[in-house]
A and B are shown apart, each in its own frame.
Chain A
């Protein structure tokens, strides 16, 4: 009965989405948005969240009980799986992850309808209409082509199990985090459509949209960082970014969201870049749809791609076309009616943000083309793959100018400024950059150009990102400013990690007997023993390595070659030892015919900074979000207080009401 109840809840929620769309469209046709129908829109949206969440809980329950009469559970779970992976297995498959997507979407719809009261009601109704339209597509997708609650006619004796690569704690958090990010962008998209329909593109729209963009951007940042770390230690290849299509699928929405975040802040504070912000809202959501399409249709293979299913691919492609085509058509029809924003000079913070936006969009285009190119050539029967030799240099051409703008931009004033005023504050970062470049060339003359520039830029940027705080009263600096500084500093930290990893990593690949010593970088590692070990649903050969950093105390490492029983598959579990200045990475391979073991060891200086930087960026976003939301709440309370005072003492309030 659980499965049937879950399905019924889903149908009910879909019906409410129809109601939400219908009533909001009727209201929009009717006029000011205060009609009888208009009163139904918000409750219809609010109801959907709990309904779908309950449906998702039903599916999770089925997975926890390992109900093998349900097709999805039988295909993806196994009774002997550890509890946490039974729970995580709920969304470790196509249907479950789409249900998770819809759950997050419905919950954000509820939240949006519940709290957002600043925009004119008519714009809000239009926004909720767009939201309902987007949700309906996903409800249809779920109900017609990916029903997670489908029953088996005869229950099977045992499930198929979950792909061992995915039996990792990383899986438990990685996809949901990205989905929250994707869905947040769908809300931003709804706002953009709502603003276009009612021609209310202005600072109020940007302020209402900004927390959603910020929130989804934070989740995307965390998701990408976590995904990168997951690939790093789980795949055992020693790399942290492979330009794999699935990675690109998460990076593209992030790039668009980053651009949108910055242009929305121009719109919110300066009322400029109106049409551009709307355009980015459409692009950002398009990218999350493209990402979903690439991953879910299985049209591209990658380490993460699950099954190939042309029907689903076609369905998502149809959704993509409808949403994006529709939004672009609306944009084309309405863009010219969006009135001009405010002007700014060529040297101003707005101009800096324009550079940021254009560069991010260019990088986005480069990643998109590189990801789709193999598909394009395949239509002409030529199979190609595109990797780092394309993405790294071509992306860098736009990334480095953007970093320069990032160092300068935050120091400039809004509207108009002079370089002379801020020149002095940039001397320190510029000098340090030059010193680092020179130093790196002197000590590592055969360093490649990209890591070299990366190192120099990272240090300079790290200093420059803190300069906006110099000479300010730190106690009175607003939280969003701290957020910006921390986010930019995090980018510098991550960049330093990336550059250092690609410039200074050392690798050793050997076949060693038990008792042999191997040197890699400053480390000396001894293979102490090889032992069989067993886990709940796997057995493994575990190496014990005694590693010493220079003459330090020994560190024990335990990489494994692990064989899962259900489904049968071998994975290598890497072992890491982290120091303040880098990470030792050890993988054990097969035993050769002569009894020697294959060992692969890396010393990667400062590589943890890649993910630390990612987390700092996200933390910067969190600070900005808290600051913005607190500001909004404070202003809301103030407005209410003023309104109340005005009612009781009409005259006094008019003269003494606090200025906003």
Chain B
């Protein structure tokens, strides 16, 4: 049947077909992005308007002084992340990143559990000036000062 088509028509059919698929891909992508992108929260936002329990989000802030505790299993740590206003308890099971220390910035990928604890799957710590989680750059200027002032 296609063999009967004139070349011009065949080109048209191909173009239309490709467009349909590509537009379909774009729509799927937008749909997927709306559903699957994980939003970034600072502790105040997380407390003010908490995300659905179990939905993947990122939490960024400063690790509070004196808050890091290792649980008896030896591989789970709990700590508080704050932004100078409020703090959120976080639980993480795994090997913590090298520069994960109290008073430094951290971004946690994870979800809010039903008990109000943020359960992290991965932690990103501020490495050095050349590499730090992007979200923390904005924070360190404005909010880190407040955090430091508070802990002093």
A interface list, Cβ under 8 A from B? 163, 236-237, 276, 300-301, 303, 305-308, 340-346, 354, 357-359, 361-363, 365-366, 369-370, 373-374, 377, 382-387, 389-390, 393-394, 397-398, 416, 509-511, 567, 569-572, 587, 589-590, 592-594, 596, 598, 600
Contact = CB atoms under 8 A, between A and B. Distances in A.
A306 B131 CA distance: 6
A276 B10 CA distance: 13
A389 B5 contact: no
Given A343-B3, A389-B56, A365 B39 contact: no
24 contacts: A301-B132, A301-B134, A307-B130, A308-B137, A341-B7, A343-B7, A363-B25, A365-B26, A365-B29, A366-B29, A369-B29, A370-B32, A370-B33, A373-B33, A382-B39, A384-B37, A390-B36, A509-B95, A510-B73, A589-B96, A592-B70, A596-B74, A598-B75, A598-B95
Given A300-B134, A369-B30, A572-B95, A390 B25 contact: no
A362 B36 contact: no
For chain B, give the interface size range. 35 or more
Closest 9 CB pairs of A and B: A511-B74, A589-B95, A383-B40, A362-B25, A570-B98, A390-B36, A301-B134, A384-B37, A340-B7
B93 interface: yes
A596 B49 CA distance: 40
A276 B14 CA distance: 10
A13 B18 CA distance: 42
B145 interface: no
Contacts of B134: 300-301
Interface in B91-130: 93-96, 98-99, 109, 122, 127-128, 130
B36 A386 contact: yes
Given A343-B3, A593-B70, A369 B75 contact: no
B29 A345 contact: no
B40 A385 contact: yes
Contact of B94 (A341, A363, A600): A600
A511 B75 contact: yes
B1 interface: yes
A340 B95 contact: no
B54 interface: no
Contacts of A307: 130
B144 to A, nearest CB: 17
B22 interface: yes
Contacts of A163: 130-131
B131 A305 contact: yes
B96 A590 contact: yes
Given A359-B21, A385-B37, A570-B99, 9 more contacts: A276-B18, A303-B131, A341-B7, A342-B7, A363-B25, A374-B37, A569-B99, A589-B95, A598-B95
A416 B149 CA distance: 76
A397 B28 CA distance: 9
A370 B1 CA distance: 39
A387 B32 CA distance: 11
Given A569-B98, A571-B98, A383 B3 contact: no
A509 B127 contact: no
A6 to B, nearest CB: 25
Given A387-B38, A509-B94, A600-B95, A394 B32 contact: yes
A383 B136 CA distance: 11
A305 B127 CA distance: 12
Given A343-B10, A383-B40, A389-B56, A369 B3 contact: no
A366 B25 contact: yes
A344 B18 CA distance: 16
Given A307-B130, A369-B26, A340 B17 contact: no
A390 B14 contact: no
B77 to A, nearest CB: 10
A271 B69 CA distance: 68
B65 interface: no
B38 A358 contact: no
A93 B129 CA distance: 15
A113 B116 CA distance: 66
B151 interface: no
A362 B38 contact: no
B130 A386 contact: no
A305 B132 CA distance: 9
A370 B8 CA distance: 35
B128 to A, nearest CB: 7
Given A340-B7, A593-B70, A383 B33 contact: no
Contacts of B24: 362
Given A301-B134, A354-B14, A340 B36 contact: no
Contact of B17 (A308, A358, A567): A358
Contacts of B95: 236, 509, 572, 587, 589-590, 598, 600
A237 B96 CA distance: 11
Nearest to A594: B74
Nearest to B10: A343
A237 B122 CA distance: 9
A417 to B, nearest CB: 11
B33 A509 contact: no
A370 B25 CA distance: 12
A383 B39 contact: yes
Contacts of A303: 131
A569 B128 contact: yes
Contacts of B137: 308
Contacts of A342: 7
A404 to B, nearest CB: 15
Contacts of A590: 95-96
Contacts of B70: 592-593
A344 B128 CA distance: 58
Contact of A385 (B18, B25, B38, B127): B38
A287 to B, nearest CB: 15
Given A301-B131, A386-B33, A365 B22 contact: yes
A369 B127 contact: no
Contacts of A511: 73-75
Contacts of A394: 28-29, 32
Contacts of B93: 509
Contacts of B131: 163, 301, 303, 305-306
Given A383-B135, A592-B70, A362 B40 contact: no
B50 interface: no
A249 to B, nearest CB: 16
Contacts of B98: 569-572
Nearest to A339: B7
A470 B133 CA distance: 53
